[in-house]
Chains A and B, each alone.
Chain A
Amino acid sequence: MFQVRLHGRGGQGVVTAAELLSIAGFTQGKHAQAFPSFGSERTGAPVVSFCRLDEKEIRLREPILEPDCVIVQDPTLFHAIDVFQGLKPGGYVLINSGKSIQELGVADQLKNVPEDHIRGVNATELAIRHVGRPVPNAALLGGFAAISGQITLEAVEKAIATKFGGRIAAGNIEAARAAHAAALSKETVDAETA
C-alpha cells in the first residue's frame, strides 16, 4: 500500500487533490481510498487530506499516520504544523515552491529522505499561467506522478477530465503536464524553467 498525505489551506483544493489522485489510481485499475481530515472547512485554515493506493481492497480507515509521500500545497504551513510527521524513511516529498529545501528551512526535517525523492515545483505559478487561478492541486499531481511512479501522467489527465469539464479541465491538464516535466528534471525548478 502506498499512502499519501496532502497538506494545504482551505481554498487550495486539498481535498479535491486527494479525490483526483484516487480517481487516477482507479483509472489504472488500483484500489484507491481518498478522504479529508474532516475539519470545519474555512478558507485559509490548514487542511489535510489523504489518499491510499493499493493493488487489493483497502479496509483500513485510520488517518494516514506514516505516509509514503507528503505533498505540501502551501509552504507557509512549515511555520504552523509539522507536515512531515511520520513520513517513512525513504519516502517522497513534493512541495509547491520554486525554492530549495535549504531555503525553505526544512532540510533538517528531511535528512532521512533521499535527495532525488524531494521535489519543489512552483505549481501555483503553473496554475495561474494555465488555469488563470492560483489553485496548485491538479498541477501537483503531475509532479506526484513524476517523482513517485505510483500513477501515470495519463491517469492524472483522465482524472482531471473526469472531475472537471471544458476549459478548467484543459487548463489543469496543461498545468499537470508542465509540473510533471518540471519534476522529472533533476533540478529543483520554478515555473520559469518549466
Chain B
Amino acid sequence: MLKQLEGSHAVAEAIALCRPEVICAYPISPQTHIVEHCGELVREGRVGNCEFINVESEFAALSVAIGASAAGARSYTATASQGLLFMAEAVYNAAGLGLPIVMTVANRAIGAPINIWNDHTDSMSMRDAGWIQLFAETNQEALDLHIQAFKIAERLSCPVMVCMDGFILTHAYERVDMPDQETVNKFLPPFAPRQVLDPANPYSIGAMVGPEAFMEVRYLAHDKQIQALEVIPEVAAEFKELFGRDSGGLLHGYQVEDAETVVVTLGSVAGTVKDTVDQLRENGTKIGVVTIGSFRPFPLQALRDQLSKAKRIVVLEKSFAVGFGGVVANNIMMAMQGSGIHVHTVVAGLGGRPITMPSLTKLFETAHADKLEDLHFLDLRHDVVDAELARQHAQIGAGPIAENILKSLYRDETNAANAS
C-alpha cells in the first residue's frame, strides 16, 4: 500500500511486519523517531508477541538483544554515532557469537567536535566487527532492507546492520510502498535459531577459546561473510519475486555500460549522483555510477565486473580515514588491484555538509578530464583551514581548533553583513 511517511516511521512499520519478539533501544538522534514509533506500535499491540525493553544505555540495548537472541527471540535494536561506539564491545560479541540480530544505524558523524548530522563514520568504525552491513539509498529501500535483513541474518546466523542516512532519510517524508503482513509472513518464516539457550537441552554459547582454536573460529566468521555474498543476492531475488521490487543485493549499476568515468558511492547521495550523471550525459560525458548495497561482505568480484571497463573510478564517500584517506576507496583499490584503473578518493558530506549537484558536476568534469587529485575533499574551505594553520604557527597557545574556526566564520559573516 502506497503511503507518504517519514523514513523513521516507514522503518518502524517494516520492523513491526517482521514480528520481532524483543525490541530494545536507547534513543539518540537521528535514530529516535524509529524507536519511538516501534514503542508506539508495540504498545498498540501491532507487533504481536513482542516486548519493548527500555534500557539505560546503548551498551545495554545490544546486550539485551544478544541475550534475547541467544534465547531464541527475534531481536531488533537501533542506534547511531556515539551510541554505536558505546556499544562497540557488544557489537563484536553479537557477531562473534553468530547471533542474528538486526540493528538500524541512522548514520551520523562521530565527535569530537560534537555533531549530530549525517555521515558514515559510525558504521565504518564497525566495518570489521563481523556484521553484515547493508546501505539504503531511499526510504523504500531502507524499509525493504529491514525485511530482507532478518531473513539474511537468520539464514546465516549472523547479525545485520541496516545503515540509512540520518536526517536525510530518517527525517524525510516520501512515498513508500508498505507491504502487507501476509506477504511478509510468506517471505520471512518464523525464527528457527541455529543455536539456542534452552534449559531442556543445556549448552553454553560463548566459550573462551585459546590459541588452539581462535583463528579457526575467526576464519569461519570470514567464511560466513563469503557465504553472505551468495545469500544477499538470493534474498533480494526472493524479495523481488514476492514484492515486485528491486531492493537490496550487493550493488546497483547505473549508466555503467559504456562509462569511461564511474563513480562509486553508497547511501542516499546516490540519488543526487544519478541526477548529475543524467545531466552530464546530456552533454555527451560518458559517466555512470555504482551504488554499493552491501559494504560487508564487500563484493569484490561484483565490483570488478562493473568497473573493469572504466578508465577511471571516483569513489565518493562520507567517511574519512584520518591520516590515510578513504575508507570505501581503500576497499575499491583492493578490488581493482592489478587492473591499472586509477581510483580517486573523494571525501564529501562530513558532518552533514550538503553534497550539491553544482559541486558534483564540477568534480566529475574535473575527474573526467583527468585533472582530479588522488585525494580530494569536496567543498573544503581551504581559506578557513589556512587561517587556522596560520594561527597555530603564530602562537603556541592558539586555543581550541573548533572554537577558533566557528569564531572566524561568525566574524566573516558579520563583516559580510555589515558590508552589504
Contacts and interface: CB of A to CB of B under 8 A. Distances in A.
Interface of A: 18-19, 22-23, 25-27, 31-36, 38, 40, 58-63, 65
B272 A61 contact: yes
A60 B352 contact: no
- Majority secondary structure, A binding face: mixed
22 contacts: A18-B173, A19-B6, A19-B173, A22-B4, A22-B173, A22-B174, A26-B2, A26-B4, A32-B4, A32-B174, A32-B175, A33-B174, A36-B171, A38-B168, A38-B352, A59-B271, A60-B271, A60-B275, A62-B354, A62-B356, A63-B354, A65-B356
B44 to A, nearest CB: 15
Contacts, number: 66
B78 interface: no
A144 B136 CA distance: 33
Contacts of A35: 167-168, 171-173
A58 B168 CA distance: 13
> Which of A25, A34, A36, A38 has the largest count of B CB atoms less than 10 A from its CB?
A38
**Interface bracket on B:** 20 to 34
Nearest to B274: A59
B172 A34 contact: yes
B172 A33 contact: yes
A4 to B, nearest CB: 13
A22 B5 CA distance: 9
A61 B341 CA distance: 29
A23 B272 CA distance: 22
Main secondary structure of the interface of B (DSSP, over half): mixed
Interface of B: 2, 4, 6, 116-118, 167-168, 171-175, 268-272, 274-275, 352, 354-358
A62 B173 contact: no
A23 B174 CA distance: 8
B116 A58 contact: no
A62 B271 CA distance: 9
Nearest to A20: B173
Contacts of B352: 38
A88 to B, nearest CB: 15
Given A26-B175, A62-B354, A62-B355, 15 more contacts: A18-B173, A27-B4, A32-B173, A33-B172, A34-B172, A35-B167, A35-B172, A35-B173, A38-B352, A58-B174, A58-B271, A59-B272, A60-B275, A61-B272, A65-B358
